[in-house]
Amino acid sequence: MFCKNCGKEIEESSTSCKYCETKLKEDETISIEPNNATDFHNRGIAYYEKGELDKAIEDFDKAINSNPNFAEAWNNRGFTYYKKENLDKAIEDCGKAASINPNYATAFNNLGLVYIKKRELDKAIGNFDKAISLNPNLAEAWNNRGFAYVKRGNLAKTIEDCDTAIALNPNLAEAFSNRGLAYLKKGDSDKAIEDCNKAITLNPNLSEAFNTRGLAYTQKGTLTKAIEDFDKAISINPELAEAFNNRGSIYYRKGSLDKAIQDYDKAVISDPNLIEAFNNRGIAYAQKGDLAKAIEDFEKAININPNYAEAFSNRGFAYVKKGDLDKAIEDCNKAISLNPNLGDAFNNRGFTYYKRGELDKAIEDYEKVIIIKPNDITVMINIGMAYKEKEDKEKAGFWWNEALKRKKFLPDKWEEEIKKWLEELGE
């Protein structure tokens, strides 16, 4: 038999493990019969629970070799590959489990998780649909489908699915965390914090809940609490790329560009496909004046996702700063074609037109931003500058005063600059 603590073979009559000195109870050992698929499978689960994933896979291999129709062994080996980020093997194994047992809801649920990781959301949702149709009481499948929906931006469906998951299992911390993420994206930071608090109470080691709560505090402007939550998320899971990216964004807002870039570096190491981290690092490099690195990062984001409008918009802004105004317009046009509601793209194109002296076109773009983002201080400053160039002091003053009304969101240096400009206008 084998010790469940260290996995090493021990004598059948042992009362303690001679390797790790663990005192053994009846359920702390696993007897292995040669060619007994169930025994190898059970020991594989024990290794998985200990975090020894390679040993778990070895035992699942043996279980499958002994019984090639052992659906649970295929599924569990697939889920272990998922944890090791070997997504193609995970799909192969979980798919095999589902083909052996077409009524195996957990296998379809696990396939959905893998497809989320691969960013193939339609396939993910299709597999969760199948899992739910086979087992309507599988709370995890409802929760996971809700997470896929939040990735697609379908927040109402996310909340609906997480509500169902919570009704089925009121102790499912992940469902509260995911519903909190949906509320966050709806702009309801208070409800997001409430759900994350519940998730953390149920599972104090749920790094995603700390990360989401940190985003909610960011949304509320409570940056110190936000950083504390991102720190906690990272301490629980040092591989959580999103938490590094989000903490980096706080440092960027605080003007600590080097700290921000360090966090973005860690984010892209943990997840080389995290386009938001490449995009954000590019913005930080642009702010530092390193336009070559900025453009390189925006291009990495675009290569990962050619439909990522924000990266085109930001690369356009970098081209403005380089003085390549034609390329800037081209990138902003592309961003707007991908996302007609991306205010930053109109703002960047407007700024490009301003630089070209095409003030009416600049103002037209700035006004579109105001429709999309009525409280965007940057565009209020920009539109004021355009009217000043047109020598329309009244409208310039109006927009700069509008920016000042929102001064709690203004960096101190900008507040001082705007007041100076208004004095020059005679206001």
Residue 206 sits in a domain whose CATH number is 1.25.40.10
Asked if the model's pLDDT at residue 97 lies above 70, the reply is yes
Q: How many domains does the chain have?
A: 2
| Average pLDDT value for the chain | 91
Q: Which two tokens stand for residue 110?
A: 């696990």
Per-residue model confidence as pLDDT tens digits over 112-154? 999 999 989 999 999 999 999 999 999 999 999 999 999 999 9
State how far the Cα of 109 lies from the Cα of 125, in Å rounded to an integer.
9
8 A C-beta contact, residue 328 and residue 352 = yes
Query: Would you state the structure tokens that stand for residue 409, as one six-digit string?
Result: 């969101």
Give residue 10's pLDDT: 38
Q: What is the pLDDT of residue 17?
A: 55
Same domain for 124 and 62: yes
Query: Model confidence over 282-325: pLDDT tens digits?
Result: 999 999 999 999 999 999 999 999 999 999 999 999 999 999 99
Give yes or no: residues 159 and 65 share one domain: no
What average pLDDT does this structure show over 66-79?
A: 96
What pLDDT, in 10s, does the model give residues 177-193? 999 999 999 999 999 99
For the chain, the residue count is 427
- 108, 135, 162: which is the final residue of a domain? 135
336 domain residue, yes or no: no
Integer Cα distance of 348 and 351 in angstroms: 5
Q: How far apart are CA 71 and CA 416, in angstroms?
A: 68
Q: What is the pLDDT of residues 213-223, one digit of tens each?
A: 999 999 998 99
In this prediction the pTM is 0.80
Report whether pLDDT(26) > 50.
no
Residue 98, token pair as written in the block: 């589902």
Q: Are residues 83 and 142 in the same domain?
A: no
Cα 51 to chain centroid, rounded: 24
Q: Classify residue 283: in a domain, yes or no.
A: no
How far is residue 70 CA from its own chain's centroid?
35
Range of the domain at 155: 137-238
